[in-house]
Amino acid sequence: MTAPLEIQYRRLLAVYPSAHRRAYEEEMVGVLMEGAEPGQRRPALGEAADLLRAGILARLGRGAQALRTSAWRDAAAVAGLIGAVLLTAIACRRLIFGLLYARESGDPMRAFGVDGGLLIDVAARSVAWLAVVVAVLLAARRTATALAVVAVLVEITAVAVWLPSQEFRAIRMSWALALALLTVALLVLSRHGRPAVAILGRRGGAVLTGGLVLAAVSALLLPLWPTPPQILGLVTVPDALLLAAGAMLLAGLQRIPAGIRRRILVLLAPLLAVPVAQRQLEQAIDITFARSVTPGIVVVDVLMMAGVPLLAFALAAAALHLREGITVTVTRTPEQAA
């Protein structure tokens, strides 16, 4: 019969990753039991704390180690490119809308003698992220990472310049900063791996770029075309372009090896969770009626913008773990093969 102390030690050892347990559990139980006092029924507090600390560190270490494998680095390179493209598209869209408004209604800053003054921050963000995209496509990984850090600083400045007149600007733009930081993290992770263009391949890259261009065209058409014509009475032209863009993006990703493709989706999960987090945040703090930014609102902001993407990543990573953990191995003996 297993001693109660041994059961307790095994429960504590469950905190270690499975690979570590396979390698050391029996041996560690032996050492722990050998060091136990006669008649001891529970692990000493210090021993238990040490096991928990070492087990959690081993788990974190293995997680970080796993993220440094080539498949994850490759996936990070593509996800980083997608993140930078998203940030470019968002900033460019704002810039185009701003320019169109200024053309139709006149620039409100003209009265102060500063043409386009309201669009300087959006223009700076557009240029900064476009530079990152170009550097990634040119396979200049270090430059891309450095430019992405600069782009984050531009994002912070773009929020800061509006703060004196718009107290809630930082809260409303939390998603932009979260997206930017995630993109930097992806580019940092990918800097020792293959460049995104090498992973996508020439055809995959062309299909993916085509999809992105189509998506951009459909986004640009929307403000210019208030009542767009329909195709066969089913979908509007911009929607059809958007669907075609989506299909091309999926086709581009489909050309990537399955292992890397799945990891790209896992890494995209936190990026896609950012807008969800922003919506949840604004609902949680009731931003329409909130009077001022309190320390509580700042705490909720940080927790949600970090927590929701992290949760999305954890869920996607768990799904990947389950998907890849279930493997069927068929072995045949020479007699069976004959």
Partner 1 sequence: MTDTPMREPTFLVLTALAAGPQHGYAVIEDVARMTDGRVRLRAGTLYAALDRLRTDGLIEVDREEVVQSRLRRYYRLTGVGETRLAAESSRLRQQATLAEGRLRARHDLGGAPA
User: Which residues would be at the binding site for partner 1 (CB under 8 A)?
Assistant: 20, 23-24, 26-35, 46-47, 50-55, 57-58
Instruction: Provide the minimum distance between the beta carbon of 50 and partner 1 in the complex, in angstroms, as a whole number.
Output: 4
Instruction: Provide the minimum distance between the beta carbon of 10 and partner 1 in the complex, in angstroms, as a whole number.
Output: 12
Nearest to partner 1 of 60, 243 (CB atom): 60
Distance CA 334, CA 304 (A): 57
The two tokens of residue 152 are 């984050």
Q: Closest Cα partner for 43 from 13, 16, 78? A: 13
Distance CA 7, CA 53 (A): 19
Instruction: Provide the minimum distance between the beta carbon of 21 and partner 1 in the complex, in angstroms, as a whole number.
Output: 11
Q: Closest Cα partner for 78 from 128, 144, 12, 124? A: 144
Instruction: Provide the minimum distance between the beta carbon of 22 and partner 1 in the complex, in angstroms, as a whole number.
Output: 12
Nearest to partner 1 of 30, 257 (CB atom): 30
Q: Closest Cα partner for 87 from 186, 18, 228, 2? A: 186
Nearest to partner 1 of 32, 151 (CB atom): 32
Instruction: Provide the minimum distance between the beta carbon of 324 and partner 1 in the complex, in angstroms, as a whole number.
Output: 23
Nearest to partner 1 of 23, 153 (CB atom): 23
> What are the backbone angles phi and psi of residue 268, rounded to the nearest 5°?
-80, -25
Asked if residue 129 lies in contact with residue 87, where contact means CB atoms within 8 angstroms, the answer is: yes
Instruction: Provide the minimum distance between the beta carbon of 70 and partner 1 in the complex, in angstroms, as a whole number.
Output: 18
Instruction: Provide the minimum distance between the beta carbon of 6 and partner 1 in the complex, in angstroms, as a whole number.
Output: 10
Nearest to partner 1 of 29, 67 (CB atom): 29
Instruction: Provide the minimum distance between the beta carbon of 11 and partner 1 in the complex, in angstroms, as a whole number.
Output: 14
The two tokens of residue 250 are 């999926």
Nearest to partner 1 of 29, 290 (CB atom): 29
Q: Three-state DSSP class for 163?
A: coil
Nearest to partner 1 of 34, 37 (CB atom): 34
Asked if residue 227 lies in contact with residue 106, where contact means CB atoms within 8 angstroms, the answer is: no
Sign of the Cα torsion 17, 20, 24, 28 reads negative
Give 211's contacts (C-beta < 8 A, 6+ positions apart): 244, 245, 246, 247, 248, 249, 251, 252
Distance CA 147, CA 176 (A): 16
Instruction: Provide the minimum distance between the beta carbon of 44 and partner 1 in the complex, in angstroms, as a whole number.
Output: 9
Nearest to partner 1 of 27, 104 (CB atom): 27
Element (H, E) at 230: strand 230-231
Asked if residue 184 lies in contact with residue 152, where contact means CB atoms within 8 angstroms, the answer is: yes
Nearest to partner 1 of 35, 117 (CB atom): 35
The two tokens of residue 151 are 């782009």
